[in-house]
Chain A
Amino acid sequence: MLYFSRIRIYLISLFSLVFIYLAVSNFISSDDNFLNKKINLGLDLQGGSYLLLEIDNSPVITQKLQNTVSILRKFFKDKDIDVNNLRLENTDTVFFNFLPKDLKKINVLLDGDDSEINPYYPQYKSHQFEINILENQIRLKFSKYGIIEIKNSSLDQALEIVRRRVDEAGTNEPNILKRGNDRILVELPGLDDPLRIKKLLGKTANLTFRFIIQNVEETFGSEKISFEDGSEEVIVSKRIILSGDNLLDAQPQMDNQTNETVVTFTLDRVGAKRFGKATTSGVGKRLAIVLDGKIVSAPVIRSAIVGGNGQISGNFTFQSATDFALLLRSGALPAPLNIIEERTVGPDLGQDSINAGIIALLIGFLLVILFMFYKYKIFGLIANVTLIINLFILIGILTLFEATLTLPGIAGIILTVGMAVDANVLIFERIKEESLNEKNHIIAFDSGYQRSKTAVLDANITTLIAAVILFFMGSGPIKGFSVTLGVGIFTTLFSVYFISRLLTSLYVINNKHKVKLI
């Protein structure tokens, strides 16, 4: 039907106008923009840094198993069960020998639904550990879901710490998201050199205060640790006086006496007590401040420190003291993070890309418009008006959903311009064919629209299928391409079947007595 009811015309115009307004509002400085929505520029256009971090959970798993070994030791002792050789095997298995008479007892303790050692996860229908019994040997390994639980909880902790560090570093509108169960995505708009953030995120920030000793100590064990600057290697006791968990606050400060930058810290009550005790008995000894397996500094204790406040000096610049304090405040990561993907675009390249994208869009648009006018004259004009409105609606929808526009996304818009006229071409060509046998223009146009419908729909759906697959499989900028391409198909269908058809019908009805229309 070529006829459009008045109400339909109003609705179409209203719909178009709303989206044209939304599209235009992107370009005017917006105090009067009542929706206050804008298209986001992707990192490749505004400049910025994209970091994908992966948690290395293996130390967490080993640590958990070590804990399990000590819990089991105590547990069996309490329950009067004799086991031998209880130990960690291959960093991923707990091993022990048992006496055959205890099998039943052990089984109940380890495999029951309310086992303390081996909790049961009803949601997964699985225990934390898989139990493997071979003659008189038992091996415990994390089950698939036990691993998932560990990964999830370490991801949650790490996410929190990453967020604190990035926020405290004063980054502008960072975007921090989980990816899978062991990855974190960090997007830092406007940052052209992510070096500082990378340094902050690359540190686990495992802080301990331990005494330097002269000889190998027996009760707690000891290890050789070198200084951060590589100047010295010393023997440090494994006994931990304080850890990062005991810190309440840490701040960079200028020491007025030495004119050095130092980091001052405040301890919680437990920490203050322990620190006081250790420093009282350890006057004259050197206390090593160890961060991630490297000694930051190792001052000699001159007098007992009882107030719960202290300071660390270690050849800091103001910047490095600030970052060190930040790491201490934000706490330790549960496991080390590795940067497995990094993409950084400088703001000048981003601006160049925007300019190039806009020029390409305008020229592509102009070429298509000129070609359509040359080919179809008055109907070309209709197709062109439709195309312009289509473009505005497309940008308007992207604005409404505050979509992220990337460089490939701009390419998607340009491609939409080239492909959007296809629907009109299909229809116009069909009308031409219909006009050969039908002298009544209105009937010819009507059947032209009807008969081309399947081809138009099929042709657009195939492109839509490609766009949808790209949306789910693609990453980052490519996703932006699939969004503009996919949304472009809907706006094209709308503009062709409502706007272009409305304009066509108005023209045909007013010129129905002309001999040749198209």
Chain B
Amino acid sequence: MKKIYFNKFYKLFNIISLFLVIVSISLLLFKGLNYGVDFKGGTLIELRTNNDQISISKLRKSFMNMKLGDVSVKQFGNKNDYLIKFEKKNNNDDMILSIKKDLTKSIGSDFNFRRVESVGPKISSELLKSGILAIFLSLTAMLFYIWIRFEWQFSLGAIIALFHDVIITLGFFSLFNLEINLSIVAAVLTIVGYSMNDTVVIYDRVRENLIKFSDIKIYDLSNTSINETLSRTIITSITTLLALVSIYIFGGEILKGFSLAMILGVIFGTYSSIFIANPVLVSLRVSQKSILKEDKD
């Protein structure tokens, strides 16, 4: 296979990545994330109707009149499926029953609630906390794992690449106002695992080559290692993406956000293993000494 000079593009892509990360962080800071009921609290109803007379505006009007706080109504996949979200949470009282009664009055009885989720404020803040904790825990675990398996320089490179992937994926969700719920947290954690997996395979080769060749500089050596593992990197990304695209298209509305986050994460994860994780090694001037020193200890 023809050798590609990835190292010539390190600088360019680092600048692009830096730009994307800054944009993502500003989006997260100033625009914020669109939290779903899992993290914000409130109630979600998935409603299906067979009555074509029922329109989204009609539904919105009916729900607005019920004093449920901030209401959002949108189509959900199928044209007769709707997703309704509002601030009020379901208490011991008969909120759902009275909503059903009110709806029957305003739009008739041809509807059913396929899904109801109601999360109180205490639970939503607990879920948010444990979600954030889980992401940081997994990043820390990766940091230490790579530190143990490789050297600190590799560990740093891998973590920078991970932050890059997670932040840009979340930035994308913020930009397009996509909902963040529990399954997105699961996706982010899986991205962390996947991106790491990709980085580790290249690093493994870098280490092997460092031992083999003492006279090649890390700048060229990283490029050789990327090239040697390139077909694996591409094939694995393709098979994983095939599986994910299949979930995205056929797996139903509920898994859409999850699979989209994963697709983005796999793309950025593959990119960052090449263009972020390796330049870090270059700028830290990793050499044969960096890994042999460890063996003497």
User: Does chain B have a CB within 8 A of A421?
Assistant: yes
A461 to B204, CA, bound (A): 14
- Give residues 210-246 of B contacting A (CB, 8 Å): 228-229, 231-232, 235-236, 238-246
Assess the B252–A459 pair: CB atoms within 8 A: no
Return B97 CB to nearest CB of chain A, in Å.
6
Assess the B138–A478 pair: CB atoms within 8 A: no
Q: Which residue of A lies closest to B202 (CB)?
A: A455
Assess the A466–B193 pair: CB atoms within 8 A: yes
Assess the B250–A363 pair: CB atoms within 8 A: yes
User: Does chain B have a CB within 8 A of A242?
Assistant: no
Given known pairs A415-B240, A429-B229, A455-B200, the reply for A462 and B145 (CB within 8 Å) is yes
Assess the A348–B114 pair: CB atoms within 8 A: yes
Binds A, one of B12-20, B62-70, B115-123: B115-123
Which of B92, B186, B262 contacts A470 (CB under 8 A)? Answer: B186
User: Does chain A have a CB within 8 A of B141?
Assistant: yes
Assess the A349–B239 pair: CB atoms within 8 A: no
User: Does chain B have a CB within 8 A of A66?
Assistant: no
Return A358 CB to nearest CB of chain B, in Å.
9
Given known pairs A458-B204, A466-B138, A470-B189, the reply for A411 and B117 (CB within 8 Å) is no
Return B133 CB to nearest CB of chain A, in Å.
7
Assess the A407–B254 pair: CB atoms within 8 A: yes
Q: Which residue of A lies closest to B116 (CB)?
A: A344
Which of B46, B204, B231, B246 contacts A360 (CB under 8 A)? Answer: B246
User: Does chain B have a CB within 8 A of A12?
Assistant: no
User: Does chain A have a CB within 8 A of B209?
Assistant: no
User: Does chain B have a CB within 8 A of A52?
Assistant: yes
Assess the A340–B196 pair: CB atoms within 8 A: no
Assess the A419–B186 pair: CB atoms within 8 A: no
B-chain residues with CB within 8 Å of residue A364 when the two chains form the complex: 242-247
User: Does chain A have a CB within 8 A of B264?
Assistant: no
Given known pairs A346-B114, A346-B115, A372-B239, the reply for A466 and B192 (CB within 8 Å) is yes
Assess the B186–A368 pair: CB atoms within 8 A: no
A356 to B204, CA, bound (A): 38
Q: Which residue of B lies closest to A422 (CB)?
A: B236
Q: Which residue of A lies closest to B144 (CB)?
A: A465
Assess the B197–A422 pair: CB atoms within 8 A: yes
Q: Which residue of B lies closest to A463 (CB)?
A: B193
Q: Which residue of A lies closest to B90 (CB)?
A: A342
Number of interface residues of A (CB under 8 A): 74
Assess the B117–A344 pair: CB atoms within 8 A: yes
Return A47 CB to nearest CB of chain B, in Å.
9
Q: Which residue of B lies closest to A345 (CB)?
A: B115
Assess the A474–B243 pair: CB atoms within 8 A: no
Return A204 CB to nearest CB of chain B, in Å.
10
A370 to B108, CA, bound (A): 49
Assess the B251–A411 pair: CB atoms within 8 A: yes
A52, A454, A462 pick with most chain B CB within 10 angstroms? A462
User: Does chain B have a CB within 8 A of A338?
Assistant: yes
Q: Which residue of A lies closest to B240 (CB)?
A: A418
Assess the A339–B91 pair: CB atoms within 8 A: yes
A-chain residues with CB within 8 Å of residue B247 when the two chains form the complex: 360, 364, 411, 414-415
Return A516 CB to nearest CB of chain B, in Å.
16
User: Does chain A have a CB within 8 A of B59?
Assistant: no
Assess the A371–B200 pair: CB atoms within 8 A: no
B-chain residues with CB within 8 Å of residue A341 when the two chains form the complex: 118-120, 123
A-chain residues with CB within 8 Å of residue B228 when the two chains form the complex: 433
User: Does chain A have a CB within 8 A of B29?
Assistant: no
Binds B, one of A107-115, A194-202, A246-254: A194-202
A-chain residues with CB within 8 Å of residue B27 when the two chains form the complex: none
User: What's the A-B contact tally at a CB cutoff of 8 Å?
Assistant: 224
Q: Mark A464-504, 1 if CB is under 8 A from B, else 0.
A: 11110110011111100110010000000000000000000
- Give residues 382-434 of A contacting B (CB, 8 Å): 407-408, 410-411, 414-415, 417-419, 421-422, 425-426, 429, 433
User: Does chain A have a CB within 8 A of B255?
Assistant: yes
User: Does chain A have a CB within 8 A of B88?
Assistant: no
Return B252 CB to nearest CB of chain A, in Å.
4
Q: Which residue of A lies closest to B182 (CB)?
A: A478
User: Does chain A have a CB within 8 A of B289?
Assistant: no
Assess the B201–A426 pair: CB atoms within 8 A: yes
A195, A343, A372 pick with most chain B CB within 10 angstroms? A343
Q: Mark A314-343, 1 if CB is under 8 A from B, else 0.
A: 000000000000000000000001111111
Assess the A415–B244 pair: CB atoms within 8 A: yes
Q: Which residue of A lies closest to B236 (CB)?
A: A422
User: Does chain A have a CB within 8 A of B291?
Assistant: no
Assess the A422–B239 pair: CB atoms within 8 A: yes
Given known pairs A349-B46, A414-B246, the reply for A462 and B193 (CB within 8 Å) is yes
A-chain residues with CB within 8 Å of residue B137 when the two chains form the complex: 469, 473
A467 to B243, CA, bound (A): 18
Assess the B193–A467 pair: CB atoms within 8 A: yes
A-chain residues with CB within 8 Å of residue B231 when the two chains form the complex: 429
Which of A343, A454, A460 contacts B197 (CB under 8 A)? Answer: A460
Given known pairs A339-B92, A356-B252, A466-B190, the reply for A419 and B97 (CB within 8 Å) is no
Q: Mark A268-282, 1 if CB is under 8 A from B, else 0.
A: 000000000000000
Which of B186, B232, B242 contacts A474 (CB under 8 A)? Answer: B186
B-chain residues with CB within 8 Å of residue A44 when the two chains form the complex: 254
A-chain residues with CB within 8 Å of residue B112 when the two chains form the complex: 346, 348
A44 to B182, CA, bound (A): 14
Given known pairs A342-B118, A462-B193, A473-B134, the reply for A478 and B236 (CB within 8 Å) is no
User: Does chain A have a CB within 8 A of B178?
Assistant: no
Assess the B204–A465 pair: CB atoms within 8 A: no
Assess the A411–B250 pair: CB atoms within 8 A: no
B117, B149, B201 pick with most chain A CB within 10 angstroms? B201
Return A404 CB to nearest CB of chain B, in Å.
16
B-chain residues with CB within 8 Å of residue A371 when the two chains form the complex: 235, 238-239, 242
B-chain residues with CB within 8 Å of residue A475 when the two chains form the complex: 127, 182
B-chain residues with CB within 8 Å of residue A344 when the two chains form the complex: 113, 115-117
B116, B123, B236, B242 pick with most chain A CB within 10 angstroms? B242
Return B153 CB to nearest CB of chain A, in Å.
16
User: Does chain B have a CB within 8 A of A367?
Assistant: yes
Q: Mark A345-386, 1 if CB is under 8 A from B, else 0.
A: 110110011001101110110011001100100000000000
Assess the A459–B201 pair: CB atoms within 8 A: yes
15 contacts between A and B (CB under 8 A): A338-B92, A341-B120, A353-B252, A371-B238, A371-B242, A414-B243, A414-B246, A425-B239, A433-B228, A458-B201, A473-B130, A473-B131, A476-B182, A478-B183, A482-B186
- Besides the contacts A339-B118, A341-B118, A425-B239, what 17 more A-B pairs have beta carbons closer than 8 Å? A198-B92, A199-B92, A339-B91, A340-B120, A340-B122, A344-B116, A346-B113, A346-B114, A360-B251, A363-B250, A415-B243, A422-B240, A451-B208, A462-B142, A462-B145, A470-B190, A474-B185
In the complex, the 7 A-B pairs of residues with the closest C-beta atoms, listed nearest first: A418-B243, A466-B193, A202-B92, A364-B246, A356-B252, A473-B134, A462-B196
- Residues of A at the B interface (CB closer than 8 Å) are 44, 52, 54, 193, 195, 198-199, 201-202, 337-346, 348-349, 352-353, 356-357, 359-361, 363-364, 367-368, 371-372, 375, 407-408, 410-411, 414-415, 417-419, 421-422, 425-426, 429, 433, 451, 454-455, 458-467, 469-470, 473-478, 481-482, 485
